[in-house]
Amino acid sequence: MPAPVRILFLCTGNSARSILAEAICRARGGDRVVVHSAGSQPRGEVHPLALAILRERGVPTEGLASKSWDVFTGPEAPAFDLVVTVCDAAAAESCPAFPGACHRVHWSLPDPAAVAGGETEMRAAFERVADELERRIPALLAELAATSGPDSDGEPADPSEP
């Protein structure tokens, strides 16, 4: 069995989009992946609606925490094969160097926590982001499986296009 692919999902606050991506990818990827998430300006807590949506979908939420991307830099940090930014702000920031020969992919996803309105509107926004991640992550995992073969160039494609 090949070594698991190490993936880091990044956004600004690490409370919604990257947390959803981390949990969904870990659940769908199983032992084929090691997944983390972080933010450039972490909020320090996971958004309650992110946790609720994950639980409703049967996705484990244990161990999810909002943390700085600084945790994943420096000589003692784990190496990553792929870094995925899930918000435009984090993609535009000057990202630190992460250990490993990692590839980068950007998925422009709206921040569901920034939606104006009541709980109904926010819940719908979280559902839309989770639905989009449920569409993109299996495509990413399939592409990673295909690129780990002996004839591949090792470059994962960007599954952001339908």
Q: What is the pLDDT of residues 105-155, one digit of tens each?
A: 999 999 999 998 898 999 999 999 999 999 999 999 998 888 765 444 455
Give the residue, 83 or 151, on which the prediction is more confident.
83
DSSP 82-125: EEEE-SHHHHHS-PPPPSSS-EEEE-----GGG--S-HHHHHHH
Cβ atoms 131, 109 nearer than 8 A:
no
pLDDT-based confidence at residue 73 (cuts at 50, 70, 90):
confident
The domain tally of the chain equals: 1
Q: How far apart are CA 110 and CA 78, in angstroms?
A: 28
Q: Is residue 155 part of a domain?
A: no
In terms of residue numbers, what domain contains 129? 5-147
Phi-psi region of 67 (alpha: psi -120 to 50; beta: other; left: phi over 0): beta
Q: Is the pLDDT of residue 1 over 70?
A: no
Phi/psi of residue 103, each to 5°?
-95, 155
If one compares 153 and 33, the residue with the highest pLDDT of the two is 33
Residue 153 lies in a domain: no
pLDDT in tens, 55-67: 999 999 999 999 9
Give domain status of residue 161, yes or no.
no
**Range 2-13 burial, b when 16+ CB lie within 10 A, else e:** eeebbbbbbbbb
Is-contact 11 41, C-beta < 8 A?
Answer: no
Q: Which residues are catalytic?
A: 11, 87, 95
CATH of the domain at 97: 3.40.50.2300
pLDDT of residue 39 exceeding 50, the answer is: yes
3-state secondary structure of 33: strand
Does some domain include residue 156? no
Q: Is the pLDDT of residue 50 over 70?
A: yes
